[in-house]
Structure 1
Amino acid sequence: MLSSDDFALLDAIRETGSLSRAAVRLGKAPSSVSYAARQLEERFDALLFDRRRYRLQLTPAGELLVQEAARLMQDVTRLTQRVQQVANGWESRLRIVTDELLEFETLLPAIQEFDALDSGVPLRFTHEVLKGVWEALQDGRTDLVVGATNEPPAITGLRWMQLGQMDWVFAVSPKHPLAKADEPINRATIVQHRAVVVADSSRSSEGRTYGVSGGQSVLAVPTMHAKILAQRDGLGVGWLPRHRVTSLLKNGQLLEKQMADPREPNILYVGWRGEDEGRALKWWLEKLQQPYIATRLVNGTDRFA
């Protein structure tokens, strides 16, 4: 393993091309620098310096040593920072899973506030859908779930709180056959038409869907945005978050239909394991309890406005 002095010697020789100039840079006598260089070569049993030319240069072996030493020293520095970080109560990382219902851009202000803490904790955000959200916490793939729509399951050490309420609208394209259907529309009528759903990301089961009747044809798409687009273009029908399609309803690209069986609003949840709460997790939990943050997450943005 190279010491910081060894690395400084190699770097000084590479930059100056001379033992004497390297000695000046390091504030040492030329004889001591020359001796240190020979000792370094003996330690690695390799020729590290090309002394045949006017300008002293590193050999390929010497260049490799400098490059790898720099990388190792950076790794050591990062490791030292992470150890100090964890010793001060911060996590080495924080993994956050959000339900696909939530739009990532609504989290950006909170991320900027977290960055301002200069905690050193890297954040990793991923999306899951329906049962896949809680499953990520149960399987240990995340530290925090935000916006889960299903009620909290039985998970060892689980703690949870409500984030807010999401309202839904059954919407169809003006060119879809259901656009002219008599209201309220019953389940028997809906089942004759294809439903658009966001595919459940559960890995341990077939998952679940909302508002789909047995025997109904289904078009499964990867995101809520894709579902909105598909229904706007008449490719199917289904329930949509009201706040995300307000402008499409206003300009007539989607039509709201009254249903015989209205969908109740969904309570969105935040969940985490309570046995290991570091400073980063506690910060996010406090932030998510602030009304303006929760409202922004639940209400989201209308990309079509």
Structure 2
Amino acid sequence: MLSEEELALLDAIRETGSLSRAAARLGKAPSTVSHAARQLEKRFDALLFDRRRYRLQLTPAGHLLAQEAGRLMQDMTRMTQRVRQIASGWEDRLWIVTDEILEFESLMPVIRAFDALQSGVKLRVTHEVLSGTWEALRDGRADLIVGATNEPPAIPGLRWFELGVMDWVFAVSPRHPLAAARGPLKRDAISAHRGVAVADSSRLTAGRAYGLVGGQAALAVPTMRAKILAQREGLGVGWLPRHRVASLLKRGELVEKTTADPREPNVLYVAWRGDQEGRALQWWLEQLRQPRLAKRLVQGIDAFA
């Protein structure tokens, strides 16, 4: 491993091509720099400086040493910063998993505010669907989950609070046969047509599909946006977050239908493990408890406006 002085010596010689100019840059006597250069060659038992030409140059071995030493110095600097970061209570990394029902765009202002803290914590934001969201926390693939649906399961050390309530609307394309149906739609009328569902991302179970009637054919799609698009195109029917499709309903690109069995609003949860509460996690929990942010996350952004 090279010291900072030795690395500075290599850089100075490489850039100036002269021991005297390198010495001037380093603020040392030329004899001191010359001695340090020879000591460096002796230490590595290799010719590091080509003295045969008028302009002093690094040999290939010298170039390699300078490059590798520079990389190691950067690694040491980063390691020092990380050690100080951890010692001050910040995590090395925070893994946030959102349920796909939430939109990433809603989190962007929070991420920007977190970046302004300059904590050094690396953020990783991914998403899961339905059971997969709780699974991520249980299996250690998340430090914090946001927007999880269904009641909190039994997870050691689990802590949680309610983020808010999401309202749903049963919507179909104006070209779909159910668009012209009169009165509240009954289960048998709905089950006669294909439903659209966002596929559960659970890795350990068969997963669950919500909003489908027993025996109903289903089209499974990867995201809520895909579900909205599929229903707008008449590929199926189902329940959609009311606020996210408000403009489509207003323009008549989707038609709201009442049903004999209305869907209850979904409670969305924020959850984490109580044994892992660093400063980054605490900061995010404080933000998510703010009513204005919680409302924006739950209602979502109407991307079709």
TM-score (ref. length: structure 1): 0.98
CA distance in 1, matches of 2:200, 2:44: 56
Quote the residue 2:81 is aligned against.
81
Shift of 1:42: 2.1
Listed as ranges, the matches of 1:219-234 within 5 Å are 219-234=219-234
Quote the residue 1:128 is aligned against.
128
Q: Which amino acid aligns with 1:201?
A: S
Q: Is the 8 A contact 2:197 2:219 kept in 1?
A: yes
Quote the residue 2:250 is aligned against.
250
CA distance in 2, matches of 1:29, 1:161: 67
Shift of 1:201: 1.0
Does structure 1 residue 67 correspond to structure 2 residue 75? no
Listed as ranges, the matches of 1:254-273 within 5 Å are 254-273=254-273
Q: Which amino acid aligns with 1:71?
A: R
Per-residue deviation, residues 95-123 of structure 1 (Å, max 9, x unmatched): 10001111111111111221221211111
Count of residues in correspondence between the two structures: 305
Quote the residue 2:166 is aligned against.
166
Per-residue deviation, residues 40-81 of structure 1 (Å, max 9, x unmatched): 122222222122221111122211211111111111111111
Does structure 1 residue 57 correspond to structure 2 residue 19? no
CA distance in 2, matches of 1:143, 1:261: 37
Per-residue deviation, residues 205-258 of structure 1 (Å, max 9, x unmatched): 111110123332211111111110110000111110000000000110000111
TM-score (ref. length: structure 2): 0.98
CA distance in 1, matches of 2:183, 2:74: 67
Secondary structure, counterpart of 2:220 in structure 1: strand
Quote the residue 1:2 is aligned against.
2
Shift of 1:190: 1.4
Q: Is the 8 A contact 2:143 2:276 kept in 1?
A: no
Shift of 1:184: 1.1
CA distance in 1, matches of 2:218, 2:59: 65
Per-residue deviation, residues 266-293 of structure 1 (Å, max 9, x unmatched): 0000000011211111111111111111
Quote the residue 1:138 is aligned against.
138
Quote the residue 2:275 is aligned against.
275
Secondary structure, counterpart of 1:190 in structure 2: helix
Quote the residue 2:294 is aligned against.
294
Gaps of 5+ in 1: none
Give RMSD over aligned pairs.
Answer: 1.0
Quote the residue 1:240 is aligned against.
240
CA distance in 1, matches of 2:215, 2:45: 75
Listed as ranges, the matches of 1:165-204 within 5 Å are 165-204=165-204
Per-residue deviation, residues 167-200 of structure 1 (Å, max 9, x unmatched): 0001000011111123211111111211111111
CA distance in 2, matches of 1:140, 1:219: 30
CA distance in 2, matches of 1:214, 1:51: 85
Q: Which amino acid aligns with 1:210?
A: Y
Gaps of 5+ in 2: none
Secondary structure, counterpart of 2:90 in structure 1: coil
Quote the residue 1:304 is aligned against.
304
Secondary structure, counterpart of 1:253 in structure 2: coil
CA distance in 1, matches of 2:223, 2:68: 43
Point out the more displaced range, 99-108 or 151-160: 99-108
Quote the residue 2:21 is aligned against.
21
Shift of 1:5: 1.0
Quote the residue 1:213 is aligned against.
213
Q: Report the identity percentage.
A: 75
